[in-house]
Structure 1
Amino acid sequence: MGVPNPTSNLNIDIRHLKTISALAEQGSLAGAALSLSLTQSALSHQLKELETRLNLELYLRKSRPLVLTAAGQQLLALARQVLPALAQTEKQLQALHSGDAGRLHLALDCHSCIQWLLPLLPDFRRQWPGVDLEVESVPGFDTIGALLGGQLDLLLISDVHTRGDLHFEPLFSFELTLVMAPDSRLCHKTKIEPIDLLQEVLLVYPVERARMDVFSRFLQPAGVEPARCKTVDNTSVMLQMAAAGLGVAALPRWASDEFVRQGLLEARPLGQGIRRHMYGAVRAADKDQACLQSLFERIRTKMGASQTSV
């Protein structure tokens, strides 16, 4: 066969992609025909028709097992891109039609994330009515292990674990600030230094210090210990205690914005600024699921607009 006519209308169909994929998988015309529920004669006719249209041979005749030509390999590469995407889309559309789009068990590895997440969920649930959505706030178990084991489907987290079976979707960045009562002695400062907390009661969540940025990235590098730490397991209570002058707290800016706007709290950056990034951790195989990507986009839109620098 000669050089293809550049003006010819190729019209490659899905059936052609399925055929070339079956040929590669089965290694013979007979095996491919069986897997496609076609007669070998019908499959040969279909291939001949496509080769005529392309003006190219797609496989080497009399090869055992069957060997694809360069043109056949190129068509196979397209098939391996298109067919899985098509199958996934068909599955999602069928799920929407049946009202059963599966389960989304979401966990937060962040105490104050529930504050911005919950307002997003009504619109998300209207868009995905068939998703069985379950939200768990700061679960007391190994969240990464649960994600890998299938007990969780999505984890909102600010730490990345480098491993190929997980995907960490970047969502938004945020700043950690120290919040205090408006009459605190620290309000005159434009930024907080570690030594400023020597005489302060630091309000903290009930997690190990290694997971708290105020310790790992601010106090411990300077060798500073606050006067006392008081454990509080609820962000709202923590904010009210800080507003009452019962301690200070290191929180993401979004957690205290409303209190600061009302004049109930003051907020100051820690040192030169401590910025973190929020990620959506999912199993690598699930990262392109439409409902997950829809939720990620909602989070980025809301939190990107609410953060001063992303």
Structure 2
Amino acid sequence: MLEIKHLKTIRALAHTGSLAKAANWLHTTSSALSHQLKELEARIRHPIYVRKTQPVKFTPEGELILQLAEQILPLVQDTETRIQDLRTQSKGQLRLAIECHSCFQWLMPAISQFHKRWPMIELSFNNEYMFDALPGLTEGELDLVITADTFESDEFYFEPLFSFEMVLVTAPDHPLANKSYIDATDLTQQTLLTYPVEPARLDIYKYVLHPANCQPKHVKKVDQTLMILQMVTANLGVAVLPSWAVTEYQQQGLVETVKIGQQGLTSKLFAAVKQRQKNLGYIKSFFEISQRTSLTNLTDVTPIK
């Protein structure tokens, strides 16, 4: 009656919260997914979820199937990996560097899962390439880089991880905190707190300030997200950060967030590896675990189409 594809669909629906996002995550269409769910409902003779609810709400029957999916799918995936391990006897190392400096909310759980699945792979961080890590791939000092910078390359492969919204972060009593959105001119009288990288690599410059031929009044470069947030709360400047990186602080009333532009400012995150390594079993596994873990652990993130 139940098939693995049904379990994958139910789990994706629960983790993404909507049929459209689940279809996107499973690399299919909403209509195909809807047809599959109707077929399953016909088999069990009960609805699985309540239509037109956001996020999706499951019926008791749907909850039972979801529980089964959460139990079975990790076992299936683990068994498939173990079979692959027996076939390839994979051993090696995965040397990481991150250019996303707010990554730890999803990256640490992802690394924990990766280590359980691939205990024979030695995983390590390299802090020498914190703000410009792609040269480390070229030089052979790194195996994988988490980055927002992509470009056409015969040397590198960029695996899409997820997209998210960048927001302006201010102190609660800051003059910009009550605006529905800000534009480039709003920043011309502000102190902008940024990471110590070239402005051309920062989304706020690339897509907002430079096109409008605007500059902040002052710029202060800070190398830690926590320090940036502390400076924001002290009204020492404003910052542009991923919305999911500041949710906890906003809920505590320490900061406010403001949309950047009427449509918002969307950014994307990728895992970069050498072209020749992209099909290695443990590399592909890291991609999959990172994508799934980010969707589970973060709010307001979506798969990259």
Asked whether the 8 Å contact 1:205–1:232 carries over to 2, the reply is yes
Asked whether the 8 Å contact 1:114–1:137 carries over to 2, the reply is no
CA deviations on 1:135-184 (whole Å, 9 max, x unpaired) are: 13571686333313422111111121212232111110111110011111
1:94 CA drift (Å) = 6.4
2-structure distance, mates of 1:279, 1:151: 19
Runs ≥4 in structure 1, deviation > 4 angstroms? none
2-structure distance, mates of 1:103, 1:264: 40
**Which residue does 2:86 correspond to in 1?**
93
Asked whether the 8 Å contact 2:243–2:300 carries over to 1, the reply is no
Is 1:163 the counterpart of 2:153? The answer is yes
2-structure distance, mates of 1:200, 1:160: 29
Structure 2: segments with no counterpart, 5+ residues: 1-81
1:125 CA drift (Å) = 1.3
1:250 CA drift (Å) = 0.5
**Which residue does 2:171 correspond to in 1?**
181
Pair 1:264–1:123, CA change in 2 (3 A): same
Asked whether the 8 Å contact 1:108–1:138 carries over to 2, the reply is no
Match of 2:214 among 196, 213, 224: 224
Is 1:253 the counterpart of 2:243? The answer is yes
2-structure distance, mates of 1:269, 1:92: 46
Match of 2:134 among 141, 144, 160: 144
Amino acid at match of 2:148: S
2-structure distance, mates of 1:300, 1:140: 22
CA RMSD of aligned residues (A): 2.4
1-structure distance, mates of 2:134, 2:183: 34
2-structure distance, mates of 1:299, 1:138: 23
Length-normalised TM-score, structure 1: 0.65
2-structure distance, mates of 1:267, 1:142: 27
1:307 CA drift (Å) = 4.0
**Which residue does 1:33 correspond to in 2?**
none
Larger RCO (CA under 8 A, 6+ residues apart): 2
**Which residue does 2:183 correspond to in 1?**
193
CA deviations on 1:188-227 (whole Å, 9 max, x unpaired) are: 1111111111221111111111111111211121122212
1-structure distance, mates of 2:93, 2:84: 14
Is 1:278 the counterpart of 2:278? The answer is no
1:123 CA drift (Å) = 2.5
1-structure distance, mates of 2:201, 2:233: 25
**Which residue does 1:211 correspond to in 2?**
201
Amino acid at match of 1:279: F
Which secondary structure state, in structure 1, belongs to the residue aligned with residue 141 of structure 2?
A: coil
1-structure distance, mates of 2:301, 2:146: 20
Asked whether the 8 Å contact 2:98–2:130 carries over to 1, the reply is no
1:285 CA drift (Å) = 1.7
Asked whether the 8 Å contact 1:109–1:137 carries over to 2, the reply is no
2-structure distance, mates of 1:281, 1:126: 22
Asked whether the 8 Å contact 1:177–1:250 carries over to 2, the reply is yes
Equivalent positions of 1:3-152 (< 5 A) are 92-93=85-86, 101-137=91-127, 139=129, 143-152=133-142
1-structure distance, mates of 2:301, 2:221: 30
Structure 1: segments with no counterpart, 5+ residues: 1-88
Aligned residues: 220
1-structure distance, mates of 2:200, 2:135: 19
**Which residue does 1:294 correspond to in 2?**
285
Length-normalised TM-score, structure 2: 0.66
Which secondary structure state, in structure 1, belongs to the residue aligned with residue 93 of structure 2?
A: strand
**Which residue does 1:235 correspond to in 2?**
225
Which secondary structure state, in structure 1, belongs to the residue aligned with residue 149 of structure 2?
A: coil
Pair 1:149–1:231, CA change in 2 (3 A): closer
Asked whether the 8 Å contact 1:106–1:154 carries over to 2, the reply is yes
Asked whether the 8 Å contact 2:203–2:267 carries over to 1, the reply is no
